[in-house]
């Protein structure tokens, strides 16, 4: 089907009282797994290509994003293309030309005033081209080796940041941490509810791979509207690849990549089913 815009996918979730899932893509098999999971569950999603994934593919996003677009067009469910944790304004501004309808522009490593100024400029320029912009005030715990799972976003600061930058969504620190391989994180659910009341844009949870099911469901009830998932799929993918390689001395990569893709499909489908709208 035709490519879908991110605001449409997030809007559908919001109106249904749930959250849109954004899954990080590193290889073609990731994108295929996510599309298969959407078709299995009947739920839309976002294919998210991070700046780190772009670096992995030679600092050129075109091939990976084009592959995601091809997979999305073949999928029977809506899939949107998203650039994630983009630190370079020029890469962010390239989003519409790549077919991406949303960008998470990440200037959170800059001093607060510079973050606000850079984010406001990128948001204003992308809005003229119809691109939905997400941002964050400061680093989510665990990112780039910084372990700060105790970091918390202040609701008043969040409201001021959204007003000053004009962003369409806000990633907030509420107890999750990037790159967790165990699902043991505990979220500050009261803070999520206060942030929901403080800002008039969708809240985004990064570092969701380490969050147990019951915590994710509570976060959605309290106002999270976009959930980002990366490591959870990679854990499933890599585990299946390891098992397949250990069981055979064959060298054809199709065998172990297919196993990884199947495991990632199951992992994505479980999360899509978990956050299915409740009637």
Active site positions, annotated: 84
Beta carbons of 134 and 104 less than 8 angstroms apart: yes
- The CA-atom distances, in angstroms, between 222 and each of 14, 155, 162, 215, 226 are 12, 14, 19, 10, 12
Q: Is the dihedral of CA 38, 41, 44, 50 positive or negative?
A: negative
Euclidean distance between CA atoms 133 and 165, whole angstroms: 10
Backbone angles phi, psi at 249, to 5 degrees: -105, 15
Residues forming a β-bridge with 84:
50
Euclidean distance between CA atoms 21 and 13, whole angstroms: 9
Residues forming a β-bridge with 24:
48
Query: Length of the chain, please?
Result: 279
Closest C-alpha among 185, 76, 102 to residue 140 = 185
- The CA-atom distances, in angstroms, between 244 and each of 162, 249, 252, 259 are 47, 9, 11, 7
């Amino acid at each position: 089907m035709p490519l879908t815009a991110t605001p449409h996918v997030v809007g559908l979730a919001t109106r249904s009282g749930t959250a849109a899932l954004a899954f990080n893509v590193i290889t073609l098999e990731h994108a295929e797994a996510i599309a298969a999971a959407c078709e299995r569950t009947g739920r839309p999603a976002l294919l998210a290509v991070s700046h780190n994934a772009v670096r992995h593919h030679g600092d050129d996003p075109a091939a990976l994003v084009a592959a995601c677009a091809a997979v999305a067009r073949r999928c029977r469910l809506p899939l949107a293309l998203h650039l994630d944790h983009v630190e370079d304004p020029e890469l962010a501004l390239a989003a519409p030309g790549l077919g991406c309808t949303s960008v998470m522009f990440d200037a959170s490593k800059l001093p607060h005033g510079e973050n606000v100024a850079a984010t406001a400029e990128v948001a204003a320029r992308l809005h003229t081209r119809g691109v939905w912009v997400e941002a964050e005030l400061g680093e989510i715990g665990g990112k780039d080796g910084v372990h700060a799972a105790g970091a918390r976003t202040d609701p008043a600061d969040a409201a001021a940041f959204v007003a000053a930058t004009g962003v369409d969504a806000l990633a907030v620190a509420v107890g999750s941490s990037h790159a967790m391989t165990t699902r043991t994180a505990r979220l500050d659910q009261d803070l999520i509810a206060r942030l929901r009341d403080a800002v008039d844009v969708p809240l985004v949870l990064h570092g969701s791979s380490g969050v147990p099911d019951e915590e994710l469901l509570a976060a959605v009830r309290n106002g999270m509207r976009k959930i980002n998932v990366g490591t959870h799929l990679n854990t499933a993918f890599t585990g299946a690849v390891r098992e397949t390689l250990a069981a055979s001395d064959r060298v054809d990569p199709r065998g172990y990549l297919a196993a990884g893709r199947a495991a990632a499909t199951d992992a994505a489908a479980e999360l899509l089913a978990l956050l299915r709208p409740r009637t």
